[in-house]
Amino acid sequence: MKRSTLTTVVSLALLLSGAALADDQALREKAMRAGLAPLPETVPNPAGNPVTPEKVQLGKKLFFDPRLSASGLISCNTCHNLGMGGDDNLPTSVGHGWQKGPRNAPTVYNAVFNRAQFWDGRAADLKEQAKGPIQAGVEMANRPDQVVATLKSLPEYVAWFSEVFPGEDDPVNFENVVKAIEAFEVKLVTPGAPFDRFMQGADTAMSAEQKDGLALFVDRGCTACHNGVNVGGQNYFPFGLIKRPGADILPPEDKGRFEVTHSASDEYVFRAAPLRNVALTAPYFHSGQVWDLKQAVSVMGTAQLGTELSDEEAGKIVAFLQSLTGVAPQILYPALPIETAATPRPQL
């Protein structure tokens, strides 16, 4: 190859490279203006609940212990399985006595970044959220006094609570149970997603298709609801803002946030789903009736944006959503204390 030709090829390659860098930076800035951001490197302590390594370890044991349920069969991990994306991969969870819950179980991963917990936002934080399933008749069907009696019957738990909550006359209490679970769940974050690395400056972390999907996600208006570090989970919106889905996807008997506020304007209003790790958490929506992520994207286009996304557009948005899959922490199943003669018996 002649020197002049080689020089031309090199110059063209540098020019194209420079253009690609500029395009990537422009896309980052567009995403940031739309309210998207990478996961933070550190997670702040929850209000009124300083997190310590010992409290996290206690919360981990409680998260996996099925004896927090009346039957002795259902733990927090049953519906928020840390090996399966932090949910249970069921349309709606199966609880006490094989009862089916009314809504799809959200993932527990990155839940600390949500503005509120549950589809209707009825719990302000993870501590308050943890109280609900333990006591719900359709879920774990237990009572706080029964939970405390169970834990006090196990000497190891008594010692752990005394260590984690020093100076308290009676540290084994229901409030401390949920504080410990909250401390563990605060640590369930999934950094290192391709999207995060791209937003932090790694141009090659996302594929060209994923970048196209990110641009479409912003340009089509998806970020109006799905924004923040959790790409959702920040506010409440009517499901069917433009066109209400069919009763199979939007059951008419579930009026969403209305059950919390009793305001007519909140009928069929739900918290925008956080989209981190969404590729791992099928089925979708509060009803859990859509198993295919591309179909879910298409439904949202019609229902929320009033637009028919082409198959190619939906595919690119799905590619972007796949770039939100982060690295889950390695969690070893804990060894739990063995029952004693004083431990309450399971109530099936």
pLDDT at residue 178 in the model: 98
Catalytic residue among 139, 182, 185, 313: 139
Amino acid at 137: G
pLDDT at residue 8 in the model: 55
pTM: 0.92
pLDDT at residue 41 in the model: 85
Q: Which two tokens stand for residue 180?
A: 């410990």
pLDDT at residue 9 in the model: 47
Under 8 Å between Cβ of 131 and 178: yes
List the one residue out of 222, 124, 228 whose CA is nearest residue 182. Answer: 124
* 139 in active site: yes
List the one residue out of 250, 277, 255, 274 whose CA is nearest residue 266. Answer: 255
pLDDT at residue 22 in the model: 82
Q: From CA 212, how far away is CA 206, in angstroms rounded?
A: 10
Sign of CA dihedral 26, 30, 33, 39: negative
Taking the chain (348 residues) in consecutive chunks of 10 residues, what is each chunk's mean pLDDT? 58 54 93 97 90 98 98 98 96 96 96 96 95 96 98 98 96 98 98 98 98 98 97 96 94 96 96 98 97 98 95 98 97 97 95
